């Protein structure tokens, strides 16, 4: 039977059995990113609807976001940070609607980061590989990325961002609000070679 010492009238008194039902600390658990929509634009705000965020189920399925799942929302335009739950809108609509009290935190066109979390120990980070979707101004998906933790020569827990399909660093970019695919098409229409286009994109729009 376990106990604990408590102060009583200036004296430490040992109380036996007081801690028997307290949980025993287990392995270290961390709150980590599990899925993210990065740069999606607000398409509407409905103050009088049930509090939530309405998202395109196609976007959610690709990222791994579930209906009724709580998410953190960070507004890049206003700096507002809120938490609410996901509901599904019309598939293919590319919607992003803040409902209820959340509607007070945004304007149509604001750029949001929407993140879902999970809990795990450090040893599970290698297997996590959260999926990240980035968006163009019309809420079309620009990139599908994975965050990866890996053991490098420099440290046991290193980090990289890779293309989810090609599993490469080279095909990723972090240039905001730029439709790289459209730029590639325009350059090809101007007669640029594939090698020249690749070199241009790598120089101006790569990680």
H or E element at residue 125: helix 125-128
| CB-CB contact of 103 with 46 (8 Å) | yes
Cα distances (angstroms) measured from residue 44 to each of 11, 96, 150: 62, 7, 39
- What residues contact 109, with CB distance under 8 A and at least 6 apart? 41, 42
193: closest CA among 180, 202, 184? 184
* Catalytic-residue membership of 126: no
> Could you say which of 49, 85, 93, 206 is catalytic?
85
Of 52, 88, 147, 171, the active-site residue reads 52
Q: Is 78 a catalytic residue?
A: no
Tokens representing residue 13 in the block = 């008194």
Tokens describing residue 136: 């163009």
CA–CA gap between residue 137 and residue 123 (Å, rounded)? 37
CA-nearest of 51, 133, 48, 62 to 91 is 62
Q: Which two tokens stand for residue 197?
A: 């286009």
Residues noted as catalytic: 52, 85
């Amino acid at each position: 039977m376990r106990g604990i010492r408590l102060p009583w009238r200036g004296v430490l008194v040992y109380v036996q059995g007081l801690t028997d039902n307290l949980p025993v600390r287990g392995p270290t658990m961390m709150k980590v990113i599990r899925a993210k929509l990065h740069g999606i634009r607000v398409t509407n705000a409905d103050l009088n609807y049930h509090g939530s965020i309405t998202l395109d189920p196609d976007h959610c399925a690709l990222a791994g976001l579930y209906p009724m799942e709580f998410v953190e929302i960070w507004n890049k335009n206003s700096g507002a940070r809120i938490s609410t739950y996901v509901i599904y809108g019309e598939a293919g609509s590319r919607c992003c609607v803040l409902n209820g009290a959340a509607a007070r935190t945004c304007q149509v066109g604001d750029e949001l980061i929407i993140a879902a979390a999970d809990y795990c120990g450090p040893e599970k980070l290698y297997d996590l590989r959260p999926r990240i979707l980035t968006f163009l101004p019309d809420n079309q998906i620009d990139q599908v990325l994975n965050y990866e933790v890996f053991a490098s020569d420099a440290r046991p827990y290193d980090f990289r961002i890779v293309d989810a399909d090609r599993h490469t660093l080279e095909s990723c970019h972090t240039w905001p609000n730029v439709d790289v695919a459209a730029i590639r098409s325009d350059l090809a229409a101007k007669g640029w070679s594939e090698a020249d286009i690749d070199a241009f994109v790598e120089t101006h729009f790569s990680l």
